[in-house]
Amino acid sequence: MKTCIACGMPMTKPEDFPLRDESMQSYKEKAASMAAFLVGTQGLDEGAALAQAKAMMASLPAWAGRK
């Protein structure tokens, strides 16, 4: 079962997904995409960007407690 990365809500049927798109990213994929965004927009090096991405994701219910 997938959960919403923003609120942690269980997502079990197509209606639960934005625009019925069931292709939610994994933790690793989301961290990498957020890190790439931070590198491109804020000029952080990759290590710092990944650390910042993981810190931001830890505040979201779906990823709470992950490091």
Per-residue pLDDT at 43 exceeds 90:
yes
Question: What's the average model confidence in pLDDT over 34-39?
Answer: 95
Say if residue 48's pLDDT is above 70.
yes
Residues 5-29 have a mean pLDDT of 79
Chain-centroid distance of CA 67 in Å reads: 12
CA atoms within 13 A on the CB side of 25: 12
pLDDT given at position 54:
93
pLDDT higher than 70, residue 67: no
Average pLDDT over residues 7-31: 81
What percent of the chain has pLDDT above 70? 97
